Amino acid sequence: MQKVTVLGATGSIGVNTLDVIKRHPDDFQVYALTAHSNISLLLQQAEEFKPAYVVVSGDHDSSEVEAKLAQVSSDTRLLSGLEGLVEVAKASEVDVVMAAIVGAAGLLPTLAAAESGKKVLLANKESLVVAGKLMMQAVRDSGATLLPIDSEHNAIFQCLPESYAEQGFSASGIQKILLTGSGGPFRTTPIEELDSMTPEQACAHPNWSMGRKISVDSATMMNKGLEVIEACHLFDIDTDQIEVVLHPQSIIHSMVSYADGSVLAQMGQPDMRTPIAHALSWPQRIESGVEPLDFLAVSQLSFSAPDFARYPCLKLAFDAYRQGGAMPTVLNAANEVAVAAFLDEEISFMQIAVINERTMVAMEGADADSINGLIEIDQKARSLALKAIHDKV
């Protein structure tokens, strides 16, 4: 029986994680559930899973939440804020931590899980983008197991040889990592119409149902850019060892191309319960609730190259990683602010990339090697991005 903390339990990944856990009551027990604002869903989840703890990180009235919690799950205790998140991520009773908070807000709890040697299931890609070196060092120092939930990285992990961690890229006979992406909802929209796309249109992803922030990131392909950086850290590679391939059907979740001409691909329905179940049970396999692929229904798989004029954010991510230092931290922070402003209808769709680029230029050379230094850079980038938005770029 493994005890699981789900950070971000009320989000899209959190809900899918609980759906898989529910299918295996003899293997997994929920230790803690966390939410930022959706208290009513958190209480429903507490009633169903009877965790030892729930954590609310956003503003709330503790005594009111405690009273409601007592009615649905009398043995569950309430913790609050970042402190509560970190506590349930590193608690000695916990075996597995699902890191599914969105954005840099997930950094410190995810790092706490890595430092405490947990099996960390990483959905929160932003924490690797912000502090990849420190996160990977924490995993090595503590002996934690880091398993990717992002469908592409989970696919790559499944296509790599078992000896990859010892041997690395070249000695494993790998020629390239092929990172696939659907291209989002605006793949075929005329470029001159992109700037008038609304938040609702941007969040209507053709294949995946996800939270709003990652949905907008998929439309700009910043998501793929963040994933390139995530892959560099996870697999200890450089950007020139990765090729981004557009694959609109989202059936192949990514591929590894080997020196002998073999290309291994992981395929499946676009349903996050597959990578979640894979990582929860690794190295075993368990049922996830996902139907197997029907190749006759799929019938066609197509591929093309991404166009940087359509997806300037993708290029910015390559630039940020190549510039090095804390530039990925800067880009991630600016992007979180710009996406929030787009969702609030303060800026247009194409202005997301403009804000991101301006912030990167303003913070050229930013670097830090401590977590506090990176958090300071993140804060500075946020305030510069906000200023650019208010100056009406």
Question: Which residues are at the interface with ligand NAD (CB under 6 A)?
Answer: 8-14, 35-38, 57, 100-102, 105, 123-126, 150, 208, 210-211, 213-214, 272
In this complex, which beta carbon is closest to Mg ion, that of residue 197 or of residue 221? Answer: 221
In this complex, which beta carbon is closest to ligand NAD, that of residue 103 or of residue 306? Answer: 103
In this complex, which beta carbon is closest to Mg ion, that of residue 194 or of residue 221? Answer: 221
210 contact choice in Mg ion, ligand NAD, none (CB below 5 to 8 Å, kind-dependent): ligand NAD
How far, in Å, CA of 1 to CA of 246, rounded? 40
214 contact choice in ligand NAD, Mg ion, none (CB below 5 to 8 Å, kind-dependent): ligand NAD
Task: Please report how the helices 312-323 and 327-343 are oriented relative to each other, as an axis angle in degrees rounded to 10.
Answer: 150
In this complex, which beta carbon is closest to ligand NAD, that of residue 112 or of residue 174? Answer: 112
Task: Residue 334: name the closest of 295, 293, 384 by CA.
Answer: 384
In this complex, which beta carbon is closest to ligand NAD, that of residue 69 or of residue 174? Answer: 69
State in angstroms the smallest separation of the CB of 38 from ligand NAD: 6
In this complex, which beta carbon is closest to ligand NAD, that of residue 174 or of residue 269? Answer: 269
State in angstroms the smallest separation of the CB of 92 from Mg ion: 32
The answer to whether residues 216 and 343 touch, using CB atoms and an 8 Å cutoff, is yes
By rule CB under 5 A, what string of x and - marks binding of each residue 126-165 to Mg ion? ------------------------xxx-------------
11 contact choice in ligand NAD, Mg ion, none (CB below 5 to 8 Å, kind-dependent): ligand NAD
How far, in Å, CA of 182 to CA of 163, rounded? 30
The answer to whether residues 39 and 12 touch, using CB atoms and an 8 Å cutoff, is no
The residue type of 264 is: L
What contacts 295, CB < 8 A, 6 or more positions away? none
- Does position 271 interact with Mg ion (CB under 5 A)? The reply is no
State in angstroms the smallest separation of the CB of 333 from ligand NAD: 13
14 contact choice in ligand NAD, Mg ion, none (CB below 5 to 8 Å, kind-dependent): ligand NAD
In this complex, which beta carbon is closest to Mg ion, that of residue 115 or of residue 150? Answer: 150
158 contact choice in ligand NAD, Mg ion, none (CB below 5 to 8 Å, kind-dependent): none
How far, in Å, CA of 345 to CA of 206, rounded? 22
State in angstroms the smallest separation of the CB of 30 from Mg ion: 25
State in angstroms the smallest separation of the CB of 150 from ligand NAD: 5
In this complex, which beta carbon is closest to ligand NAD, that of residue 121 or of residue 160? Answer: 121
State in angstroms the smallest separation of the CB of 252 from Mg ion: 13
Rule CB under 5 A: which residues touch Mg ion?
150-152
